[in-house]
Amino acid sequence: MTRMARAVLLVSLALWTGGLATISFVVAPTAFKVASSRQEAGTLVGAVLRGFNRLELVCGVLALAASLLLLGRRPQGSRQGFVSSALVFTMLTIAACLMFWIYPEAAAARSILQGAPEDIVSKDHFALIHRISVILVSVNIFVGTGLLVCLGLRKTDGG
């Protein structure tokens, strides 16, 4: 059971973190390079992120469940397991904030900009939302990668 939980944790984190990194470092730059306009590229990248967000939530729930299962199987006072679970929970919370708050807010700001491109307040609002999104996605990539490295280096319990 411990091996299965560890495998689920590692695969979930790898899919989640790898997907975010691929979108951030491959899909987004490519879209802005080849699309006919920045608006078209932004629409495409936004759609990819919103579509991927569902997979993020599934991976996050599976990773958190596996992490908590592993925590329950460790000796009392295991800080490693608690920290791993807390970090996965933090990543999942960030993914939920992106899905239910940031991405809808960005889409609304973008639609206002399409109607009034000269609206400086809307431009500033969209820029702020975009910065927050980039920071939160970067945090999840960084934390997920760190967790994968730490979990990969950790000795298995043998179960």
Query: How many angstroms separate the CA atoms of 80 and 156, rounded?
Result: 12
Q: Is residue 158 in a domain?
A: no
Question: 117-150: per-residue pLDDT in tens?
Answer: 666 777 888 899 999 999 999 999 999 999 999 9
Choice among 36-45, 59-68, 110-119 with the minimum mean pLDDT: 110-119
Range of the domain at 12: 2-153
Task: Give the model's confidence band at 43: pLDDT under 50 very low, under 70 low, under 90 confident, else very high.
Answer: confident
At residue 40, φ and ψ (nearest 5 deg) are -65, -45
- Across residues 66-82, what is the average pLDDT? 78
Q: Is residue 53 in a domain?
A: yes
Q: Is residue 159 in a domain?
A: no
For residue 131, the number of C-alpha atoms closer than 13 Å in the C-beta half-sphere is 6
Predicted pLDDT of residue 62? 97
Residue labelled with tokens 């994968």: 148
Question: Is residue 17 within 8 Å of residue 55, measured between CB atoms?
Answer: no
Domain count, the chain: 1
Q: Is residue 122 in a domain?
A: yes
Percent of the chain at pLDDT exceeding 70: 92
Predicted pLDDT of residue 125? 87
Predicted pLDDT of residue 108? 86
Tokens standing for residue 124: 């500033």
Q: Is residue 111 in a domain?
A: yes
- Across residues 5-20, what is the average pLDDT? 96
